[in-house]
Amino acid sequence: MTPLQQRLAGHLQLLYPQSDVMELADQCLAQFGLGADASAPVPHRNLWDERDVMLISYGDSLRSEHEAPLQSLTRFVRTQLHGCISTVHLLPFFPYSSDDGFSVMDYTTVNPSLGSWEQISGLSQDVKIMGDLVINHCSSRSLWFENYKAGIEPGASYFVEAEPDTDLSAVVRPRTSPLLRAVKTAAGERHLWCTFSHDQLDLNFQNPRVLLEFLKIIRLYLDNGIRWFRLDAVAFLWKTPGTPCVNLPETHELIRLLRLLIEHLAPDAVIITETNIPNQENLTYFGNANEAHLIYNFSLPPLLINTLLTGSCTHLKNWLMTMPPAQHGTTYLNFIASHDGIGLRPAEGLLSDWELQSLIATLQRFGGRISARTTASGESKPYEINISLWDALRGTSSQGPDPWQFARFVCAAAIMAALEGIPAYYIHSLVATGNDNERVENTGSYRAINRHIWQQDALQQALIGDTHHARVFDAMRALLRLRRQQPAFHPNATQYTLHTGEALFAFWRQSIDRRQSLFAVYNISDQPQSFNLSELNLIATDDWVDLISGEAHNDRMAQITLMPYQYLWLSNRRS
């Protein structure tokens, strides 16, 4: 037995103790096209550096009458974002029935309205691609589900059944719809588990045949140039009635198994877990550097937006000081906005109930919508705020809309650019797209408010005209190019939070080779703020320059005044 077979059998024994684990291990290797004697990757190896910046986009966020949307996106990346990003998170690009791609009908086919596998492979020649492995559920219009109803494989044993009188009160729900869906089958009525919606039927990973199906799917993605895998909604993967059915030990075990196989076949591959849950639970998905390479910093969006709306960085600073430095070979994925809303569960225990209600009320004033979930007691509770980032930062909680929207917006992007981890920018944040209320009305989905589809010609005109879109886009590109030149912004570079008061948010980064020190200081309020350089304890023998303005700061006792939402990146080396 090879070391790989031995490790694989160990994971399978914990997941499928009733199976012949050696035979199942051989099936996994064969399905994945992996030899049993494959070499193990080097542990604790960083597969990223300061040049890594991610773009988040749907395949059709840009549309043109003359070409497939994936071609339009590829051209935008090549011509408009050259030197700004390294990776594209290409949101689900499969045939789907709902949820803008996250209700997958066929995992093996590119939606023909978007393009083809050839175009995805072509994009992978320019940037790394992160693809969604929608692993918890599939569409009710999938072949698997049609086969389930007919009682034939593949599909007959692929879904989670439960009796309607089963006590499922402990199950954690991210939605308000009933958990079980009644389905008529050839064998009579059955009730299927639906964590998210009745069009999204949960897959039964207690059946090893489902695991083997997904190994084949992962291999297909690898063959077509995808190297980063986002495990969508993975925290809900394993179901055991009588438990919360979230973050179960078997879920972690399955992630370790997938990591083992993927990194043996493709040592440059990366796994990201999408676990929109409270902060301490989220951190467990690093495992012992043997589960996710990256985890989403889900607490960052509500805390950072709250900071800029209130003018107080207290909660953001306190949270940052509790976050453990990621081991080498792991790091955080930072984001403020994405295709989903601003999650509120990751702010639980970090913001008080009153502060959460104030945040919700402020963003509702700015056009936001509120999505709810059902708690174990049956109570409806806010789950996420649906709003574009541009509109979310149009003012403050106390004063409402104000003239500082542009400065506040860029300040938010600059904070994320400098934090430990890899920053990920939603395409609609790069171009400051506002709330798409018309799309909400047309789709009936609150999340559509931040899923605008740009006609390519219209966006091109917006980015060259005298518009806020052009101002933001130019500022964002300059910011990202500058960020990618700083070794102190390596995702695993040292970070220390500084104590500079409530209205100034500051932290120190030092490159892994210790050659660059960089102090990032931000005025997160709508009033000018001053501080003395002596507070930063600058090394007297070094020359210091603000990378943003190019201004030298060699008077260690000088007082600096930052205008509302102004910031500086004070470095001891020029880029």
CATH of the domain at 543: 2.60.40.1180
Q: Is residue 164 part of a domain?
A: no
Cβ-proximal residues to 91 (8 Å cutoff; 6+ apart), any chain: 56, 57, 58, 59, 100, 101, 132, 339
Rounded to 5 degrees, what angle do the CA atoms 180, 183, 186 make?
145
Q: Is 466 annotated as a binding residue?
A: no
- pLDDT over 50 (residue 32): yes
pTM above 0.85, yes or no: yes
Q: Is residue 326 part of a domain?
A: no
- Expressed in percent and rounded to 5, the helix, strand and coil fractions of the chain are 35, 20, 45
Q: Is residue 185 part of a domain?
A: no
Averaged confidence pLDDT in the chain: 96
Q: Is residue 188 part of a domain?
A: no
When pLDDT is averaged across residues 403-408 and rounded to a whole number, the result is 98
Tell me the one-letter amino acid at 2: T
Cβ-proximal residues to 30 (8 Å cutoff; 6+ apart), any chain: none
User: What integer pLDDT is reported at residue 374 of this predicted model?
Assistant: 76
Backbone phi and psi for residue 274, each to the nearest 5 degrees, phi listed first: -100, 95
Q: Is residue 32 part of a domain?
A: no
- pLDDT over 60 (residue 247): yes
- pLDDT over 90 (residue 381): no
- pLDDT over 60 (residue 574): no
Q: Distance (Å, rounded) from C-alpha 214 to C-alpha 32?
A: 9
Using pLDDT thresholds of 50, 70 and 90, give the confidence band for residue 575. Answer: very low
Rounded to 5 degrees, what angle do the CA atoms 294, 56, 108 make?
85
CA distances from 67 to 73, 77, 88, 91, 402 (A): 10, 15, 20, 19, 40
Which domain does 545 fall in, by range?
494-571
Q: Is residue 27 part of a domain?
A: no
Using pLDDT thresholds of 50, 70 and 90, give the confidence band for residue 539. Answer: confident
Q: What is the pLDDT of residues 52-82, one digit of tens each?
A: 999 999 999 999 998 999 999 999 999 999 9
Q: Is residue 395 part of a domain?
A: no
Count Cβ atoms within 10 A of the Cβ of residue 369 and give its class: 0-12 exposed, 13-18 middle, 19 or more buried. Answer: buried
When pLDDT is averaged across residues 197-216 and rounded to a whole number, the result is 98
Q: Indicate the SS3 state at residue 146.
A: helix
Q: What is the pLDDT of residues 326-339, one digit of tens each?
A: 999 999 999 999 99
When pLDDT is averaged across residues 102-117 and rounded to a whole number, the result is 98
| pLDDT above 70: percentage of residues in the chain | 99
94-117 burial: b if 16+ Cβ within 10 Å, else e = bbbebbbbbbbbbbeebbeebbbb
When pLDDT is averaged across residues 267-272 and rounded to a whole number, the result is 97
User: What integer pLDDT is reported at residue 516 of this predicted model?
Assistant: 96
Q: Is 62 annotated as a binding residue?
A: no
Flag the least confident range among 210-214, 259-263, 554-558. 554-558
When pLDDT is averaged across residues 336-361 and rounded to a whole number, the result is 94
Number of independent structural domains in the chain? 1
Using pLDDT thresholds of 50, 70 and 90, give the confidence band for residue 243. Answer: very high
Q: Is 264 annotated as a binding residue?
A: no
Per the document, the length of the chain is 575
Q: Indicate the SS3 state at residue 574.
A: coil
Q: How is residue 141 written in tokens?
A: 């219009």
Q: Is 82 annotated as a binding residue?
A: no
Q: Is residue 22 part of a domain?
A: no
What is the number of H-type helices and E-type strands within the chain? 17, 26
Q: Active-site residue among 60, 199, 232, 436?
A: 232
Q: Is 199 annotated as a binding residue?
A: no
Q: What is the pLDDT of residues 439-465, one digit of tens each?
A: 999 999 999 999 999 999 999 999 998
E strand segments, 298-379: 331-335, 342-343, 369-374
Sign of the CA dihedral with 211 first, then 216, 220, and 225 last: positive
Q: Which helix (H) or strand (E) holds 229?
A: strand 226-231
Q: Is 231 annotated as a binding residue?
A: yes
Report DSSP state, residue 38.
Answer: P
Residue 232 catalytic?
A: yes
Using pLDDT thresholds of 50, 70 and 90, give the confidence band for residue 174. Answer: confident
User: What integer pLDDT is reported at residue 506 of this predicted model?
Assistant: 98
* Of 163, 166, 144, 165, the residue nearest 153 (C-alpha): 144
Q: Is 173 annotated as a binding residue?
A: no
